[in-house]
Amino acid sequence: MAAYVKTLLQEGKEVHQKIRSLEKVIDDERQEEEAETVDQSRVQALMELHVRQEQIKGEVEWLESPVLRTLIVKKQQKEMCADEILCVCGAATADEIIAQLTTVKSKIKPTAVIKMLSSLQEALSHSTRGQQIFVFPGIHCIKKSNKVEAGHIKGLGGHRVTTVTSPCSGSCLLQVWSREVTLEDLTLDASAVQMALAVSTGVLKLHNCRVISSVRSSCTEGIVVLEGGRLQAIQCKFISFGTAISAKAGADVILESCSISDSHVGILVSALSYV
């Protein structure tokens, strides 16, 4: 295993060097042309390198951390326990909390146990595969590159009042590596990162969500769907990206009643992908 970790670290170093070199080329192109338009093939290559870099980081972290391996085992054991629903609630009045919990009650089993958490980051860190997370209205800050295992994350009150964002600059806001993940009634603000969502494996379902960025750069992407990944978006809006949706070879993308605006490229489709 030590040899494999060493190989990953070496690859990570090479990927990092390639990212720096490619970013310099793109910046030079933009300065020479005095415009936002750059070679899209370079932008795609850069995004793929960022995704691979995050995959390497996650794998190395898992291999090198016995504590993390223990947590994963505990998570698997927890999945076999009774249903537990996570609710993320910041500062709120008693009436506001009661009103939102009444909504939650109507959407869960009578026997389900509700666990209240103060941050979405805590919920993502402790959630198990397929678990439900209800997010109270507000702006919820998380770390970059979270791997989502929860089955359903729903914003209470709709996407206009429930926002997920990150103050940390980096590659990705959320990564989907699970069998099926549903995000509903949320605004995903990727202004501080280079892409909002990366679908590595499994299925990502977006219902009534906004995926936005305040940085309209040709290097930013809304959603990247890699080989083996599947995106199903219904009534969603993608706003202000270099490329709103990128479907790699072997990826599936299904859009229904969605809109893309203020972006350089709406949907970038690779050969052998299905849109």
- Dist. CA 176–CA 203, nearest whole Å: 8
139 located within any domain? yes
Note the pLDDT of residue 34: 56
- Dist. CA 68–CA 158, nearest whole Å: 34
The tens digit of pLDDT for each residue in 115-155 reads: 999 999 999 888 887 889 999 999 999 876 677 877 899 99
Note the pLDDT of residue 274: 59
CATH number at residue 204: 2.160.20.10
Q: What percent of the chain has pLDDT over 90?
A: 37
Give me the domain span that covers residue 113.
82-269
47 located within any domain? no
225 located within any domain? yes
Total domains in the fold of the chain: 1
The average pLDDT across 233-239 equals: 96
42 located within any domain? no
92 located within any domain? yes
242 located within any domain? yes
pTM: 0.72
Q: What percent of the chain has pLDDT over 70?
A: 84
- Dist. CA 167–CA 219, nearest whole Å: 18
- Is the separation of the CB atoms in 210 and 236 below 8 Å? yes
Note the pLDDT of residue 272: 60
The tens digit of pLDDT for each residue in 25-77 reads: 877 777 765 555 667 777 778 888 888 888 888 777 777 776 665 665 566 55
* Per-residue three-class SS string for the chain: CHHHHHHHHHHHHHHHHHHHHHHHHHHHHHHHHCCCCCCHHHHHHHHHHHHHHHHHHHHHHHHHCHHHHHHHHHHHHHCCCCCEEEEECCCCCHHHHHHHHHHHHCCCCCCCEEEEECCHHHHHHHCCCCCEEEECCEEEECCCCEEECCCEEEECCCCCCEEEECCCCEEEEEEECCCEEEEECCEEECCCEEEEEEECCEEEEEECCEEECCCCCCCCEEEEECCCEEEEEECCEEECCCEEEEECCCCEEEEECCEEECCCEEEEECCCCEC
- Dist. CA 150–CA 233, nearest whole Å: 18
The average pLDDT across 195-199 equals: 90
- Dist. CA 45–CA 52, nearest whole Å: 11
142 against 7, higher pLDDT: 142
224 located within any domain? yes
Note the pLDDT of residue 246: 92
pLDDT classification of 80: cutoffs 50, 70, 90: very low
274 located within any domain? no
The average pLDDT across 100-113 equals: 90
The values of phi and psi at residue 224, to 5°, are: -110, 120
